[in-house]
Chains A and B, each alone.
Chain A
Amino acid sequence: MRKITIPNTRLEGHGRVDILLDDDGNVKDAYFQVIEFRGFEKFCEGRYVEELPRITPKICGVCPGAHHMASSKACDAVYGVNIPSTARKLRELYYNAHMVHSHILHFYALAAPDLLLKNEEAAKRNIFGLIELLGKNVVMEVIESRGYAQKIQEIIAGHPIYPVSSIPGGLSKPLDEEDRKNIEEMAKKLIEFGKKGLEIFESLILRDEEIKNLLEEDLYSHRTYYAGMVDSNGKVNFYDGRIRAVSPEGKEIAMFDPQNYLDHITERVEEWSYIKFPYLKNVGWKGFVDGTDSGIYRVNSLARLNVADGMATPLAQEAYERFYDYFGQKPVHNILAYHWARLIEIMYSAERVLELAVDEEITDRDVKVDLGKADGEGVGVVEAPRGTLYHHYITDRNGVTQKVNLIVATVQNNAAINLSVKKVAQNLIKNGKADEKLLNMVEMAVRAYDPCLACASHSLPLNVKLHRI
């Protein structure tokens, strides 16, 4: 008996895969563990609730915007206010720029090396290796385009990694005309870049026989439930909407308002990982198995496409149709399709940023409402880049936080990631033979989900008591 441990790299946070081999060197079991842990739920207690849209983005520096949005929506709900229409649009504009940044970062810096440089040695399989493969100009364009997405967020929120402008009741600052024009120009460039990303997928990745086979074969597939947010027309929406869950056969099994999440989601704890294992309450937990009887569900790009009826913008809709035509089925269960789905979402977000940037209401000065006493409880939900994100706050009448509950995107894929690493390891590792490339193929199963382990491990145990001053 032997254990192979892979410390995970090229993903956000501290995780590892443990592969347990029997005496013949075949895989008996495999575990994906998150080995870090903080304490946001607890240490947010006692804080003014309006500080949480500033504090909770520190859960994750890759998707701070998702926490900023979910948190400020939860704050709006705590005060029982509807924010002005312009504030809502500005938040959505900001948030779509955020999605573009996060998806570009994951696809090009973290995931693409697996797809484009899979046969290179480990030292070359990274963004610098891509510079050699695609040329400096293409990589510069990637960096520049991500730069536009960051710049748009900075204009609205103060800083792309440290967003601060979203507050209970709206935004702290309206958008000036000069900034609006600037955003409009950048959005047009992002649309061009979005098209290019889809082209790269078609021309470089879908034409690679090995990757094409992996996309179509069973190795990286699981039949699970999916959940994600849709707008009133059933289209993918990142900022607001209702949550739809579909079965492995694609049948809608739940459609609920985000504040009712506790009726649908339950979290299990396993003592060997610092992140929990959510499942669909009404289907139930059947252990680490997939299929219709198991309440394991998945979130993130592929799940969003699987639960939705389409995309709300024309170019993204075209890409969406091409995606399902290619696979000839819906839902698509292969996790490598998450990458393609991310590129389709970049297309949508870029188009949506432009739509909002030319909205005649977008520079209106009325971007916040006055607040009364806090109502005491509020849930704020968005689609984070990595899946549905729930913030749930309970406060006193003064808006001082009493309780915080968070279900972050990555946690919801935790059970499925465990299924995936086990399946890939079992199929690839035979008789104890596991070279670096095979082990990377196991890690690819983790990376496809784009897990964010900083997000997932928002808890940290500590022993020091402080006396309140």
Chain B
Amino acid sequence: MRLVINWAASCGGCDVSLLDCREVVMSLAEHDVLYWPVALDFKQKDLKALEDKSMDFGIVNGAIRTSEQEEELKIVREKCKVLVAYGSCACFGGIPGLANQFDRESILRRAYVEAQSNLEGQEVIPKPETEIDGFQLTLPEFFDSVKPLDRVVKVDYYVPGCPPSSSTIEEFARSLSNPPERRFFASDKSLCHDCPRNQTKGAKKIAKINRPHELKADEECLLEQGELCMGFATRGGCGGRCISVNMPCRGCYGKLPAMVDVGDAISTIASITGNGEDYIPAPKIFDALNAVKDPVGLFYQFSLPSSLINSFSADRSK
């Protein structure tokens, strides 16, 4: 089997997750991996030199944010029969996608001009072309927003997770030789379905939304303790790793197939909040709203670029 593994706007954790699977590393040694910048010394010219559709699989992690990443993604697409979006950034935009909430100028200024440790008075911001002694030094061009892979090219399979769990990876690796019909390597059911704390659920209402450090009981359903655990709206497959250490799910496996948008979860939370009242008076609504000061960061932590509010806002800004 002939493979290409590439990264775009990513942290490297997806590549580490592959290296963490001993079986996967050993089986990669049996295959021809013809491009994998983090581990092998093939350069972009070698990737370009491959014949079109000569690779069986292209596995790409990270989201797309620069011209260079988009160009490489298109090359990988051309060279590969099957393209796999690997990890939450490739599938949904991931955590770096939270940047879609801010404009370009303020992000640049924060890093290069305003940061407390910067040289005072220096107002230099990196730019695409710099001339030094008659030579051009270039930096890639940036796009207006972080995009998941399928906004740029056709994606055949999705392997979600930040990073994908070892069971997800093993299932995916096994399927390389016999590609399945389903396109998502995750459960169609919610994480609650696999959660060991599911049995503790009592269909209770939540009196107050709590923050993770306010958690009291170790073994009970986090949502019913008032934690904004996103497990009920998130595909299973991760093995409940955050919950295993008493921390709420933040949705890295993506929304359930039946949901239109991750934001659907907000109405679910609204419907179970309150002390059993049918009617909440206005001042209490403000209290409830105040309790969630960062809805984008909590509900869309891994998925803002693939969400409806992202496209809505992108259209509005035009």
* Chain A interface residues toward B at CB < 8 A: 1, 3, 6-14, 18, 20, 28-29, 31, 33, 35-39, 41-43, 45-48, 50-51, 54-55, 58-62, 64, 105, 109-110, 122-123, 125-128, 131, 140, 143-144, 146-147, 150, 154, 156-162, 164-165, 167-169, 172-173, 261-262, 265-274, 276, 278, 285, 368, 371, 390, 392, 398-400, 403, 405, 407, 440, 452, 454, 458-469
Complex contact B139–A50 (CB within 8 A)? no
Can you list 19 residue pairs at the A/B interface with Cβ under 8 Å? A39-B110, A42-B106, A59-B11, A60-B11, A60-B12, A61-B13, A62-B13, A122-B42, A126-B39, A143-B25, A150-B20, A156-B245, A167-B212, A271-B126, A272-B137, A460-B142, A464-B310, A466-B310, A469-B296
Q: Min CB distance, A82 to chain B, in Å? A: 15
Q: Which residue of B lies closest to A20 (CB)?
A: B135
Most buried by A among B14, B101, B263, B295: B101
- Residues 229-257 of B, flagged 1 when their CB comes within 8 A of A and 0 if not, give 00000000000011011110010100000
Interface of B is mostly: mixed
A125 neighbours in B (Cβ, 8 Å): 41
Complex contact B102–A159 (CB within 8 A)? no
B14 neighbours in A (Cβ, 8 Å): 61
Bound-state Cα–Cα, A268 to B116, Å: 12
Bound-state Cα–Cα, A14 to B11, Å: 10
Q: Min CB distance, B281 to chain A, in Å? A: 23
Most buried by A among B41, B241, B317: B41
Given A45-B102, A167-B213, A440-B41: 10 more A-B contacts, CB < 8 Å:
A10-B38, A38-B65, A61-B15, A126-B40, A146-B19, A147-B22, A158-B247, A161-B17, A269-B118, A459-B110
Q: Which residue of A lies closest to B68 (CB)?
A: A35
B102 neighbours in A (Cβ, 8 Å): 39, 42-43, 45, 462, 465-466
Quick one: given A51-B297, A165-B247, are A61 and B146 in contact (CB under 8 Å)? Answer: no
Complex contact A462–B65 (CB within 8 A)? yes
A454 neighbours in B (Cβ, 8 Å): 10-12
Complex contact B118–A466 (CB within 8 A)? no
A172 neighbours in B (Cβ, 8 Å): 212-213, 215, 245-247
Q: Which of B91-99, B175-183, B271-279 contacts A (4 or more CB under 8 A)?
A: B91-99
Complex contact A10–B41 (CB within 8 A)? yes
Q: Min CB distance, A26 to chain B, in Å? A: 14
Complex contact A460–B118 (CB within 8 A)? no
**Which residues of chain B from 13 to 63 have a CB within 8 Å of any chain A CB?**
13-17, 19-20, 22, 25-26, 28-29, 33, 37-44
* Chain B interface residues toward A at CB < 8 A: 9-17, 19-20, 22, 25-26, 28-29, 33, 37-44, 65-66, 68, 94-96, 98-108, 110-112, 115-119, 122, 124-127, 130, 132-137, 139-140, 142-146, 162-163, 165, 211-213, 215, 218, 241-242, 244-247, 250, 252, 263, 266, 293-298, 301, 304, 309-310, 313-314, 316-317
Most buried by A among B68, B135, B310: B135
Q: Which residue of A lies closest to B218 (CB)?
A: A173
Complex contact A368–B11 (CB within 8 A)? no
Q: Which residue of B lies closest to A390 (CB)?
A: B117
Bound-state Cα–Cα, A164 to B215, Å: 14
Q: Which residue of A lies closest to B33 (CB)?
A: A128
Q: Min CB distance, B120 to chain A, in Å? A: 8
Bound-state Cα–Cα, A164 to B243, Å: 9
Complex contact A462–B103 (CB within 8 A)? yes
Complex contact B252–A162 (CB within 8 A)? yes
Complex contact A272–B132 (CB within 8 A)? yes
Complex contact B104–A20 (CB within 8 A)? no
**B95 touches which of A11, A55, A62, A398 (Cβ 8 Å):** A55
Q: Min CB distance, B310 to chain A, in Å? A: 7
A9 neighbours in B (Cβ, 8 Å): 37-38, 40-43
Bound-state Cα–Cα, A311 to B265, Å: 51
Complex contact A38–B9 (CB within 8 A)? yes
Complex contact B39–A158 (CB within 8 A)? no
A165 neighbours in B (Cβ, 8 Å): 245-247
**A58 touches which of B100, B139, B162, B294 (Cβ 8 Å):** B162
Bound-state Cα–Cα, A158 to B245, Å: 6
Most buried by A among B28, B44, B134, B297: B297
Bound-state Cα–Cα, A9 to B108, Å: 27
Complex contact A261–B117 (CB within 8 A)? yes
Complex contact A20–B133 (CB within 8 A)? yes
Closest 8 CB pairs of A and B: A61-B13, A463-B144, A61-B11, A158-B245, A58-B95, A459-B111, A165-B245, A61-B12
Q: Min CB distance, A211 to chain B, in Å? A: 18
Complex contact B133–A29 (CB within 8 A)? yes
Complex contact A18–B41 (CB within 8 A)? no
A261 neighbours in B (Cβ, 8 Å): 117
Complex contact A272–B135 (CB within 8 A)? no
**A50 touches which of B43, B96, B134, B213 (Cβ 8 Å):** B213
Quick one: given A123-B41, A168-B213, A462-B142, are A158 and B65 in contact (CB under 8 Å)? Answer: no
Complex contact A459–B293 (CB within 8 A)? no
Q: Which residue of B lies closest to A13 (CB)?
A: B12
Q: Min CB distance, B136 to chain A, in Å? A: 8
Complex contact B110–A42 (CB within 8 A)? yes
B127 neighbours in A (Cβ, 8 Å): 271
Quick one: given A7-B44, A162-B252, are A39 and B107 in contact (CB under 8 Å)? Answer: yes
Most buried by B among A46, A105, A159: A159
Complex contact B163–A43 (CB within 8 A)? no
